[in-house]
Amino acid sequence: MKQKEGVIKPKTKRAKRFLDNRAPKLTENVKNVMIMKGGNTSMTVTQALKDIYALKKPSAVLYKKKNITRPFEDSSSLEFFSKKTDSSLFLFGSHNKKRPNNLIFGRLFDFHVLDMIELGIEKYNSLSAIKNSKCPEGTKPMLVFAGEAFDHDDDHKRLKSLLTDFFRGPVVPSVRLAGLEHVLHFTALEGKIYMRSYRSLLKKSGCRTPRIELEEIGPSFDFVLRRTHLASDDLYKTAHRQPKALKPKKKKNISHDTFGTKFGRLHMQKQDLAKLQTRKMKGLRKRRGPAAAAEGETSLKTAKVEVE
C-alpha cells in the first residue's frame, strides 16, 4: 500500500473494511498494547514483558527486536509503531545502570503520546515461578486500587487511570458470573506500588453472594514510581471529549418535583368556553319566560348566554 501523505484509497472491499475498523468511531475498539524492548534489557525485564503480554494476550503485540529509542526524549518511533499496529497503549522495557529494570507504561491519543509513567521493578515473581493453574486467556479482570495515595497524589491518580485503561479489557454489557476469576490488586504504600494478581475462588456461603478465597497466580511486581510525563490539561480534556451521539437522549416533557413526583404536560387545543360541556342539571335547564333569566345568572359562571 503506497502512502501518499497518509491517504490510502482502498481498492477492495476487504481493504475498505480494514480501514474502517481503524478509523475513528463512535464506540471504539479495545485498546491494543504494543510491548517493546529498549536498547538494553535484563532477564527480569524480558520476563516481565512476556508475562504482561500473556495477561493482555489477544489485544497485545510483543516485539522481539530491540528498539534503540528513549521514549522520554523522542517519541516519534513510538508513534510510528502505534500507527502501524493501531495500538494506543504501549509498554517499553529497558535496563541501564541509572534506571535498572525500567518499565514505561504509556498511552496515546490520536497516535500522539498522551501520558507516560516510568516504573522501576524492585521485586518480581514471574508467572512461571508461581506454579499453579492459571486463569484462561482473555478473562476480564477485576481491578482493585488500595491506598490513599491513589486519591491524593496527582501522579498516582494518573497512574490509576492509566492502569485501569491498560488492564480493563473490552467493555462488555454483561459478564458470566462464574467467569469472574481474575483479580489484579494494586496497593500504593510509601511511594511504592505493589501489584499482585490472584485467582478468585467463589465458595459457598450461606446466602446468594459467594465467599471469596484468593489464590495467587503470577506475576507479582513491586514497583517504584520514577519519572512521569503527563499530558497537559487541555490535551487531556480533548482526549476525553465524547461525541454528542453517545450522550443518552433526554426524554422531553418529563419533570420531577422536589418530592420526586413525576410530572408531564398535556397540550390541549384552544377551547371555546362558551360551548363547554359540563354536567347537566335538569333543574338548571333553560326554560321559557322571565324566570329563566334569573336562573341563567345563578347557574354556571361561564354561561353568559342571553335567554330571551
Question: Which residues are at the interface with other proteins (CB under 8 A)?
Answer: 23-26, 28-29, 31, 88, 107-111, 114, 140-148, 150-151, 160-161, 164-165, 168, 171-178, 180, 183, 185, 187, 189-190, 194, 196, 198, 200, 202, 205-214, 216, 220, 236, 238-243
Residue closer to other proteins by CB (options 177, 266) is: 177
Residue closer to other proteins by CB (options 36, 231) is: 231
At residue 30, what are phi and psi to the nearest 5 degrees? Answer: -65, 145
Residue closer to other proteins by CB (options 38, 141) is: 141
Rounded to the nearest whole angstrom, what is the least distance from the CB of residue 140 to other proteins in the complex? 6
DSSP state of 113: E
* Helix (H), strand (E) at residue 166: helix 154-167
At residue 146, what are phi and psi to the nearest 5 degrees? Answer: -120, 145
Residue closer to other proteins by CB (options 99, 140) is: 140
How far is residue 144 from each of residues 11, 127, 147, measured CA to CA in Å? Answer: 47, 20, 10
Sign, Cα dihedral of 17, 22, 26, 30: positive
As given in the structure block, the three cell numbers for residue 114 are 498522551
d(CA 38, CA 106): 14
Residues 6+ apart with CB under 8 A from 66: 37, 38, 39, 40, 41
As given in the structure block, the three cell numbers for residue 29 are 475498539
Rounded to the nearest whole angstrom, what is the least distance from the CB of residue 96 to other proteins in the complex? 27
Residue closer to other proteins by CB (options 99, 134) is: 134
d(CA 58, CA 32): 9
d(CA 223, CA 162): 15
DSSP state of 134: P
As given in the structure block, the three cell numbers for residue 279 are 354536567
Rounded to the nearest whole angstrom, what is the least distance from the CB of residue 95 to other proteins in the complex? 24
As given in the structure block, the three cell numbers for residue 1 are 500500500
Residue closer to other proteins by CB (options 40, 164) is: 164
CB atoms within 10 A of CB 256: 9
Rounded to the nearest whole angstrom, what is the least distance from the CB of residue 136 to other proteins in the complex? 15
Rounded to the nearest whole angstrom, what is the least distance from the CB of residue 114 to other proteins in the complex? 6
Rounded to the nearest whole angstrom, what is the least distance from the CB of residue 102 to other proteins in the complex? 22
Residue closer to other proteins by CB (options 66, 123) is: 123
Rounded to the nearest whole angstrom, what is the least distance from the CB of residue 126 to other proteins in the complex? 15
Contact 195, 184 (CB under 8 A): yes
Residue closer to other proteins by CB (options 94, 113) is: 113
Rounded to the nearest whole angstrom, what is the least distance from the CB of residue 213 to other proteins in the complex? 7
